[in-house]
Amino acid sequence: MAKTVPWWTLIPTALFVGLAVWAINSPVENPSAQEVTIAFPGGGKIHVRSERETLNFEALMTKLFSEDYSRNGLLGWLRDRKHLYSLETTELAEALKTKLCDPIPLEPLEERLAKAADCASKPAVDALRRLSSERVVPFHYVGLRVRAGIQAASPHRPGKGRVNVCRTGRYVAQRLQIIDPITNRVIEVQAGGTYECTVGEFPDIQLDPEDANELFGRPAGRFENAIAVVL
């Protein structure tokens, strides 16, 4: 004889580890039946059968997560009541921004400083900020493929250690690492001068001839393929 119980009463009380991942260490005693039927809002049901008079939570959770409606129901319950989020959704990023810390006011200044310091001191926030400052995944640098030109004409020559960039592009005022994808040679430059860009007619960046020689180690063409990383 199957026993039907509301699905939300079956959330385990064992240790929750990470984000939306938990370890369940002990079984639930169910001496009156070897089968449990879990009824979900909207009419869906899952049947879990045990060969013994105990139902193991790990088997139960595996079964629950095998179906979209039961998995979504559990994740929704965990999100709304326990603030646990799946790593596969954008809800985690939004929760970090809006739920992890108290709002930080712009003024008065003392309250702003106190709230900001209190937020930064939380263990999870401190760990994330360290990952960000060290540029560790997921805060790692991301390179984009660009077309690089060489600007030698005065007064538009950027100067060694500097680079001209499109006025409306993403690299304005940025510190850049430029990589030759053929040799993996690397230089670092500061975006300084800007110019108007028309698609197909202008490079994404303009290097100084000295930097181009250092980067490519060969006579450069009008346009060269490169990788730009914002530092």
Query: Where in the sequence is the domain holding 73, given as residue range(s)?
Result: 3-82
- Please give the model's pTM, rounded to 2 decimal places: 0.59
Lowest mean pLDDT among 83-97, 100-114, 119-133, 181-195: 83-97
Question: In degrees rounded to 5, what are phi and psi of residue 164?
Answer: -90, 145
Give CA–CA dist 141/212, Å, rounded.
22
Tell me: do 226 and 149 sit in the same domain. yes
Whether residues 121 and 149 share a domain: the answer is no
Task: Give the integer Cα–Cα distance in Å for 203 and 181.
Answer: 16
pLDDT of residue 16: 31
172, two tokens:
């304005």
Tell whether 188 and 222 lie within a shared domain: yes
Q: What is the pLDDT of residue 147?
A: 93
Give the chain's domain count.
3
Is position 148 within any domain?
yes
pLDDT tens-place string over residues 185-221: 999 999 999 999 877 688 999 999 999 999 999 888 8
Cα gap 55→121, rounded to integer Å: 42
CATH number, domain containing residue 199: 2.40.40.10
Q: What is the mean pLDDT of residues 97-112?
A: 93
Residues 110 and 135 occupy one common structural domain: yes
pLDDT in tens, 114-146: 999 999 999 999 999 999 999 899 999 889 999
Confidence of residue 54 (pLDDT cuts 50, 70, 90): low
Asked whether residue 37 is domain-assigned, the answer is: yes
92: in domain? no
Average pLDDT over residues 155-167: 94
Residues 6+ away with beta carbon under 8 Å from 48: 35, 36, 37, 38, 55, 59, 60, 63
